[in-house]
A = this chain, B = another copy of it.
């Protein structure tokens, strides 16, 4: 972000997404937002981020339509930061990152958080890609069809 080189115009949705949220802090802020964090100070202590950086990131994410501010729910004069619908659309990105981390970045038995179905308390099913007809698809079963850059 505030990118020296922008791949926005490359015609690849992956690059364009990264242009918007592809920096270290943004996705962590968004992750916290999904976990119910709403206040400036909550983000700050949760992430250990410098206040100035946090203010900048919060402002950027708001300008990009990923967060929006709302009056504080506790009646104080402060703002709260909540995900917009566009921001909530990033849920699967977070889930995919979580799944990969669980798969490849932990030693067996090492403590970690997990995502569960609120209704049953059971872990959610693994994320999978499918074809139109429901057939499971691996990376080698797909191809990027270019109308611009892939």
- A17/B144 contact (C-beta < 8 A), A12-B31, A124-B130, A132-B117 known: no
Measured CA separation A13–B111 after assembly (Å): 10
A121 to chain B, nearest CB (A): 8
Interface 9-residue window, one of A54-62, A68-76, A87-95: A87-95
Q: How many copies does the complex hold?
A: 2
Measured CA separation A67–B144 after assembly (Å): 20
Which residue of B18, B24, B49 is within 8 Å of A97 (Cβ)? B18
| A40 interface residue (CB < 8 Å to B) | no
* A104 contact set on B, CB distance < 8 A: 65, 86, 89
Contact in complex: A89, B100 (CB < 8 Å): yes
* A13 contact set on B, CB distance < 8 A: 97-102, 105-106, 112-114
Measured CA separation A106–B13 after assembly (Å): 8
5 tightest Cβ-Cβ pairs between the two chains A and B: A13-B101, A17-B101, A91-B139, A92-B96, A17-B97
Beyond A3-B24, A7-B28, A113-B147, 13 additional contacts (C-beta under 8 Å) are A11-B112, A11-B113, A17-B97, A20-B105, A22-B24, A22-B27, A23-B24, A89-B103, A111-B148, A113-B149, A116-B142, A116-B145, A121-B145
Chain A interface (Cβ within 8 Å of chain B)?
3, 5, 7, 11-18, 20, 22-24, 27-28, 31, 34-35, 46-49, 65, 86, 88-106, 111-125, 127-132, 134, 137-139, 141-150
